[in-house]
Amino acid sequence: MAEILSVDYELFGSLLPNTFLEGGMPDGSFFESDGFKPVILGYGYKHAFDIGDTFISDNEIFKCRVVGILDKGSKWFSANYGLSDEIVNIDNFIIVLTNQPDTYIGATFEGTVLANNYLISKEPFDSELESKIGEVAKKYGISVGIYTFNEFFANTRGNLIEQYYLMLFSILFLSVIAVFGLSSLIVYGINISKREIGIRMACGAETKHIMRIFCSEIFIIIILAFFTSCIMANSKRLINFLMLSMKDINIWVYAAVLVISLVVCVVSCIFPIRRITKLEPKELTGGE
């Protein structure tokens, strides 16, 4: 099943500076020719089609002709709700150009063009388009939202700020819970390692050395949890990355998570380790 991006040709040609490996953007007259929609292929299809090739979708809704093949690493806006602020790689996308002022992403070839419930209208808001969309939506029994760019971006910006604070609160809340959880784990670890701590202290280990031992043990657990959750949450992106060399993974997000994990690890160790190392070594070894 191919990934389809259906987008207004003027938008696609003007919003992001994507370049072509072969072919190029069609002009408006193309849409009045022979009923074939112009399609641009992502870099991943460069060996599958040539310029001028035609193909028809399974349900025969689309009749397409290849007009261009994009350079590697081309980008477009992600998510299923139109123009989001996240940019994704479209190397494995088929971009179906329309002369309608709309864009949506993620519809499948077997599905309908109204797989997504958002259409983005150009400014000024086109009332004719609204009624046209309403008719189509009624036909398919789908509720369709129509936004102007300004409305859409205003909503998106507002949502983003809300999401930002919500995410910040979630991070803090989860970090505090993680600190308590890991501290309990360390207290348990300390109780079964009292003798070892005592012997190490008798041999000259300082608080920071004991701290280092426990931190490294906890950090191994955190790293394992981190990689497991990354694999589970990003399996599709990971497959794209490994099989199609698509680099739509934001490294900074993962770096931030790692840094937060490290801080959580150290903070969770400080209190129990400081408490235990205040005892004399002979108390820890049980007078051994």
Partner 1 sequence: MDFILSLKEIVKIYGKGESKVVALNKVSLDICKGDCISVMGPSGSGKSTLLNIIGCMDTPTSGQYILKGRDVSKLKRRNFSQIRNRDVSFVFQNFALLNNYSVYHNVELPLCHRRMSRSQKKEIIMHYLDKLGIANLANKRPTEISGGQQQRVAIARALASDADIILADEPTGSLDQKTGQEIMELLTNINSEGKTIVIVTHDKNVASYCRRNILLVDGKIVEDNISKNCSETNVSL
* Least Cβ distance, residue 274 to partner 1 (angstroms): 11
d(CA 243, CA 170) in angstroms, rounded, equals 33
User: Could you tell me the CA-to-CA distances from 33 to 36, 59, 65, 155, 211 in Å, in that order?
Assistant: 8, 22, 11, 38, 74
Q: Does the protein bind partner 1 through residue 288 (CB under 8 A)?
A: yes
* Least Cβ distance, residue 223 to partner 1 (angstroms): 22
CA dihedral 39, 20, 89, 29 (to 10 degrees): -30
Task: Rule CB under 8 A: choose which of 29, 128, 135, 203 binds partner 1.
Answer: 203
Beta-bridged to residue 75, according to DSSP, are 89
Q: Does the protein bind partner 1 through residue 285 (CB under 8 A)?
A: yes
Residues 61 and 113: beta-carbon distance below 8 Å: yes
d(CA 198, CA 184) in angstroms, rounded, equals 20
Specify the stretch interacting with partner 1 by CB under 8 A; choose among 36-44, 61-69, 131-139, 196-204: 196-204
Q: Does the protein bind partner 1 through residue 266 (CB under 8 A)?
A: no
Report residue 201 as tokens. Answer: 């202290």
Tell me, by CB under 8 A, how many residues bind partner 1: 17
**Residues 52-91 vs partner 1: string with x where CB under 8 A?**
----------------------------------------
d(CA 119, CA 223) in angstroms, rounded, equals 41
* Least Cβ distance, residue 278 to partner 1 (angstroms): 8
Q: Does the protein bind partner 1 through residue 199 (CB under 8 A)?
A: yes
Beta-bridged to residue 188, according to DSSP, are none
d(CA 76, CA 83) in angstroms, rounded, equals 9
Specify the stretch interacting with partner 1 by CB under 8 A; choose among 95-103, 203-211, 238-246, 257-265: 203-211
Q: Does the protein bind partner 1 through residue 209 (CB under 8 A)?
A: yes
Nearer to partner 1 among residue 96 and residue 205 (C-beta) = 205
Specify the stretch interacting with partner 1 by CB under 8 A; choose among 103-111, 112-120, 135-143, 277-285: 277-285
Cis peptide before 281 (omega within 30 of 0): no
CA atoms within 13 A on the CB side of 182: 28
**Residues 146-185 vs partner 1: string with x where CB under 8 A?**
----------------------------------------
How far does the chain reach from its first CA to its final CA, in angstroms?
Answer: 70
Task: Rule CB under 8 A: choose which of 83, 190, 205, 246 binds partner 1.
Answer: 205
Max Cα–Cα distance, the chain, nearest Å: 94
Question: For residue 35, with 0-12 CB atoms within 10 Å meaning exposed, 13-18 middle and 19 or more buried, which class applies?
Answer: exposed
Q: Does the protein bind partner 1 through residue 35 (CB under 8 A)?
A: no
Nearer to partner 1 among residue 112 and residue 207 (C-beta) = 207
Q: Does the protein bind partner 1 through residue 141 (CB under 8 A)?
A: no
The amino acid at residue 177 is I
Q: Does the protein bind partner 1 through residue 260 (CB under 8 A)?
A: no
Q: Does the protein bind partner 1 through residue 276 (CB under 8 A)?
A: no
Residues that bind partner 1 (CB under 8 A): 196, 199-207, 209, 280-282, 285, 287-288
